[in-house]
Each structure stands twice: as structure tokens, then as C-alpha cells.
Structure 1
Amino acid sequence: MSADNPVNVLYVDDEVHNLNAFKASFRLRFNIFTAESAIEGRKVLEQESIHVILCDQRMPGMTGIEFLESVIPDYPDPIRILLTGYEDITAVVDAINRGEVYKYIQKPWGDDNLRINIEKAFEIYSLRKENKELIESLLIVNKQLQFLLRQNLL
């Protein structure tokens, strides 16, 4: 989370004032991308390398859970956070089970709380990426070792 390794955050919400408030609060700390609909959100994902996705639950056309679930096959790596102004236990369960959501945060959010959760989400993103790279390296080394062992046995 430094100037040479910025966090790219996408926030999808149909309420423009929420998008503007989010951008105003966090633009100096993160690279902020906003979208007023799930369709716009998908376009951003196609064009940018996003690390953390925040999404409002109640939007016209597609709920936040539906959007987050729909992007998993094409964009499995970003960490997903669901924001909502409504308490709905069904939405919480669906978010966890279907949308593979890291956090469920109530609106209105507290800036410090949301910032901390975005930073923690990015840490998880970074650790998962590092783990993938380590596993790939180990698989390569394993193949090389198997080859060398076979050479010595012949």
C-alpha cells in the first residue's frame, strides 16, 4: 500500500452521492474506480487490475450479491466487500456463501473502519497472490527434481 504499489479499489453503487463521498474520503490513499451499475462495474474490471471490490447490496437490475457472484468466474482474485444500509440476515448468508464476500459492512460506514477493512482485504489479496506464485515455483522445482532423480537412476 505504497506509492509504488497502490491499492486499486472498485466501488459499485447506484447512488452517486455515495460514490462521490467514497472517492472524496479515500482518493488520496487508494486508486479509486467507481461504477453506478453492475454493467459499469464489469467494464471497469475488464479494463483495470482491481484488488478490492466494494458493492452496494440494493441496486436496480442486479443485487450486490448477484454482481459479486457473477464476477467470480472471470475475476476470482479481487477481495469482495458488501455494503448495505439494510440489516438482512439472508443477504449476509448469501453474501458469504454465494458471493464469497470477505466483509459485510453497514452503511453509513465509518471512514476509519472502512479504510482498515480495505487495507486488510488488500493484505489478503497480496498473500493469496504470493501463495500462488510460491506454489507455481514449488511445482517447477518439483518437476526439475523429479527429472534429476530420474537421470541419476538410469
Structure 2
Amino acid sequence: MRSIRATLAATAVLAAMIPVASPGIAQAAASCNSFTTYSVTGGFMRVPTIGWDTGAYNCDLGRGNFGDAVRVIQVSMRRCMGQNIADDRDFGPKTEQAVKNVQTRLNEWYDVGLAVDGRYGPKTRRGNFPFAVFPTFATWTPREDGYCYYNVNP
């Protein structure tokens, strides 16, 4: 199993990232259009967000989305979950199938009850979705050892 040793460290990092909603106010997930980079043990982790480096990551990605937010999940699914997809920034049928594969595996591993719908959204992110760790802030090549962070927050 890849980099489970990072799970405890990821708890602290990702717990600080969870948005707090006002009681009684439902928050609809908007489309992710960028990412936020976090300094973590071993390098840097990127998480899809609404806007660049905003921390507003209660967002959704699905078929037809295009951009760096898509690339973040493509790289992470390839590096952390062994999905054979390109990081072409295009959320097409192959990326949708990869998300379904990851959702299925997360349900098996963690019993998180994710809908296997091929969409990356708040529930999938909170369902232990893995995020690749990059050795430097500027690179798109993840660490060679497959070091990943898994979100363990409810």
C-alpha cells in the first residue's frame, strides 16, 4: 500500500483546509478552475480549488471540465492509485472512468460510501482521495517514490 505513513500528517494538513459552513446554509459545489498548493512533509501537495491559491476547495469536477484543477486529479490518480491516464487537463471519458475506479477502490479500502459516479467533488475529496506530493513548488512531476497524502477527514 502506497505511502500510508503520510496519513497522520495529512490529517493535520487537510483538517486546516476544511471550510466551515454556517449552520443551516447549504453550500453548492462550484466548478474547480485552479488549485491551491500546500507545503507538506516531503514536498508540496496540490488540491483543486475555485481560484488559484484560495483554499476554496468545496468544488466539483466532471466530464467537460478543462484546466489545471483537472490536471491535479489526473496526476494524483496516476501516481497514487495506478490509473493509466494522461495529465492532459481534459476531463474526458478516460478521466471519468479513472475517478470511478478510484471511488470504487476507496469504498473498498475505507468503506466511505462514495457514489461511483465519476465526478470529483467534496464527498470524493473527503473520502480519502489521494493527492500526489511534488518535490518542488513549480514542478508537475510527483515524487518518484509515490508519496501521497490521503484525506482522512469526515
- Pair in the same fold by TM > 0.5: no
The structure with the largest helix share of the pair is 1
Q: Which has the higher contact order (CA 8 A, sep 6+)?
A: 2
TM-score by length of 1: 0.30
Larger CA Rg, structure 1 vs 2: 1
